[in-house]
Structure formats: structure tokens, C-alpha cells
Amino acid sequence: MREREGARGVTGFRDRFSPRGWYAAVVAVVVEGMPLVTAAHAPAVRHQVTHTIPVGNGPHAVAVDPDTRTVYVTNYLANTVSVIDEATMTVTHTIPVGNWPWSVAVDPDTRTVYVTNELDYTVSVIDEATMTVTRTIPVGSLPQAVAVDPATRTVYVTNTGDDTVSVIDEATMTVTRTIPVGTNPDAVAVDPDTRTVYVTNYLANTVSVIDAATGTVTCTLRVGSGPNGVAVDPAARAVYVTNGGDDTVGDDGTVSVIDEATMTVTRTIHVGFNPDGVAVDPAARTVYVANSLGNSVSVIDVAASTATATIPVGSNPDGVAVDPAAHTAYVPNFFGNSVSVISRCI
């Protein structure tokens, strides 16, 4: 959320869509005078906030362990992580970590949680079984985003202070590589199928594409202004990048869609004001975008390549994560000290 660092002023927010529900007309098909089908279409999919969960001070990022149905939220101003039980939608633990915890990622296979501590230049490692920090790993300057590749047991951390990515081996819990990328690397995501890592470079308006096998940048893609978040849909071989700086001319930010086969931007989708976090629900073919200054979440229909709904949430939503089994999105609201839970309803 760059606005806490004094980037842009706030203008008005315009509601463009609301959750929809509609029914198609009843259709009767007649062949040789006999009615074969008489049916009505089911209601369209709707998305709505079903819970608002109080957490710590300044919640910024969120990650889900779908196996244990547990949600982890970094509280940037409290130096803690809130642990939410999806079954009860309540906070069950509050775990102290380092100073200014920025981001969080989970390895479900090892039941391990990784938290970047921006001020300490470290990553806290949490054991899900005990809900305690078991070790602290030094990384680069001002670490921000973190992503895990469970297949290779590798963790990637963007260091925005020195324009690098730290690569952590989960077996040894040490940094094994440091990869130079673009200026001010912010978000990171992994495609485990292609062993490709994507890093948004906020001040360069680019995405660095890293071959995980060699640990080298294979290409650099130009996207929109101020790319904040990134998420991968491995099934569709598509990458979604939020461009927070594209709203300087109005109140619409954008999402760049990258085709992994050609490594080119194939579409640009308009969303809300100052888009930041982004997450994919592959089975539902839906992408969620947290609009930080719009106090909303844009819902993108992958098939239509457009935002079909805008969901009001709390104040200053930064991140978003999805439980793909439950088709539920979790959105931390930085100034609301809460997490909005968005459910998919039919």
C-alpha cells in the first residue's frame, strides 16, 4: 500500500458495478410439435461480504492454508500475525513476529508459514503445529512479498531496498541465491508447473520473469504504471498484475494479463481505485483485486476478461487471498483493523 508512503492524493471513488442476480427467460424447445425442454437458467453468481473479522492493528497481507482451513494475516503496525479458523471465522491465535510484518505465505505440505519483516530485514518461520516462530532468516533490504513453491520446497522474497529476490531453501532454511531484478521489487508469485517466478518492479513498471531452475531473469515485461500485486493461474497459464499507478488520470486502476505461452501482455482490465493485492480462484475462473483507495474488491470474470462486480469492503484493503475449496476470499482492511470475508453465492 504505497499511499502510506505519501505517493498519491485521494480522489473520489465511483461505484461501477454491484453484485448481480438475474434469471433468464423460460425457454421451450419444440421439435415436431413436442416440447423437449422447459427450463430457466439458474441465478448468476453473486459475491458478498458474509463476515467481518476483527484482527490486529494495520492488517496488510493474508494467506490461506486450504488443508487446515486456516487463514494468516500480518498486522503491520502490531508486529503480529492473526490466525483465523475458517470453521468459526474467529481469531484463535496471535503470534508475535518481527518489526513491520509485510507479507505472508504458506507451504501446506510442510505446514510452515513465512512472514517478511520489513524493518528487520528478516523472515519469521512459523510452525503451524505449535503456532510459534521456530526460526528467523536474514534476507535482503526491506523485504516485502513472499511466495512458496511447495514442489521444490523453495521460498522467494522480494527485497525492495536493494532490488533483489532472496531464494530460501526450506530444507536448510538458508538463503541459497540472491537474484537481481528491477527497481523496487514489490510482489512475487510462482507457477509451480512451469517453475517460473514473476516479480513486479514498482518503480520500473515491469515484471521480471525468473527461471527457477537456473535462478536467472529470462525476460522483463512492461506492464502498467506502479505494478503492485501479481497472481498466477497455472491451469490457464495466465498471470495477473495490478497496476496501482494507472489511476493517476482518474479513479480506475488496471490489471495487466500476461500469457505465459508468449510472455506478452494480451489484455488490460479496468478495476477500482489503486488496485493492490490480487488472487485467483482457478476452478471458479474468478480473479479478486483489492482496490486499496477504493475500499472495494473488483471481481473479474476470467472468461469475459472484465470486472463484473465491485464489492464494498473495509477501509484501505491491501491484500487478498482465496481458499479455492470454499471459493472464499479474505481481504485485510489496513485502517479498519479487520478482515472482510467474501463468499461466492449462487
Which domain CATH number covers 139?
2.130.10.10
pLDDT of residue 251: 60
pLDDT category of residue 28 using cuts at 50, 70 and 90: very low
What's the CA gap between 312 and 294, in Å, rounded? 8
DSSP 33-74: TEEEEEE-PPPPPEEEEEEEEE-SSSEEEEEEETTTTEEEEE
Nearest by Cα to 155 from 176, 136, 169: 169
pLDDT grade for 199, boundaries at 50, 70 and 90: very high
Mean of per-residue pLDDT scores for the chain: 88
Q: Which pLDDT belongs to residue 345?
A: 82
pLDDT band, residue 45 (cuts 50/70/90): confident
pLDDT at 24 over 60: no
Owning domain of residue 72: 2-345
191 phi-psi bin (left φ>0, alpha ψ -120 to 50, beta other): beta
Indicate the pLDDT class of residue 5, thresholds 50, 70 and 90: very low
| Beta strands at 227-233 and 46-54: parallel, antiparallel or unpaired | unpaired
pLDDT band at 331 (very low <50, low <70, confident <90, very high): very high
Q: Can you tell me the distance from the alpha carbon of 187 to that of 276, in angstroms, rounded to the nearest whole number?
A: 10
Q: How many domains does the chain have?
A: 1
Grid coordinates belonging to 165:
529476490
Percent of the chain with pLDDT over 70: 86
- Side-chain-side CA neighbours of 36 within 13 Å: the count stands at 5
Is the pLDDT score of 289 beyond 80?
A: yes
Phi, psi of 35 (to 5 degrees): -70, 120
Q: What is the pLDDT of residues 55-113, one digit of tens each?
A: 999 999 999 999 999 999 999 999 999 999 999 999 999 999 999 999 999 999 999 99
pLDDT at 14 over 80: no
What is the SS3 assignment for 285? Answer: coil
pLDDT of residue 27: 29
| Cα–Cα distance, 336 to 286 (Å, whole number) | 25
Instruction: State mean pLDDT over 132-160.
Output: 97
* Mean pLDDT along residues 167-181: 98
Please count the residues of the chain. 346
